[in-house]
Structure 1
Amino acid sequence: MDHPFHLHAFFQVLARDGVPVADAELADEDTVVLPQRSTVRIVTRFDEPGMWMYHCHIPEHTERGMMGEIHVEP
């Protein structure tokens, strides 16, 4: 099953399954769809310290634990 991964910050996808994306595909996003058994490499900047949430956008998956927090310290 595909998983729409959502980060409560903007990011850019740098690579999919180890293959760099074309420069034309670089864009600020807050959600990326992850097909089954795939990977993405992203880059982001956290402008403020605190807790930044990430989760699957499928509610049942989030409720079952597909979520977490990134803790950013000053």
Structure 2
Amino acid sequence: MFELATKTVVNFSNKQLEEFTTSMITTIIFVSFLVSLGTIALVKLIKNLFKKIRKTNKSITCECNNNSVAQVEQ
């Protein structure tokens, strides 16, 4: 089994090996680029989601001075 695997590797010509490695490198670069874009988009989406949550959860407190009531947003 091991001899068969080594024979098939040896039977590759330099041109085929070069084309294979070039295509694999370009594929890896492309996939990593897509993953990084997806990660950036996900981070932006989560940040916007937290901003919306913070805006809706703003509490309104009341400061009472003498008999007047003023609403203050935190």
What TM-score do you get using the length of structure 2 for normalisation?
0.19
Q: Which has the higher strand share?
A: 1
Structure of higher RCO (CA pairs closer than 8 Å, 6+ residues apart): 1
Q: Which has the higher helix share?
A: 2
Structure (1 or 2) with the larger CA radius of gyration: 2
What TM-score do you get using the length of structure 1 for normalisation?
0.19
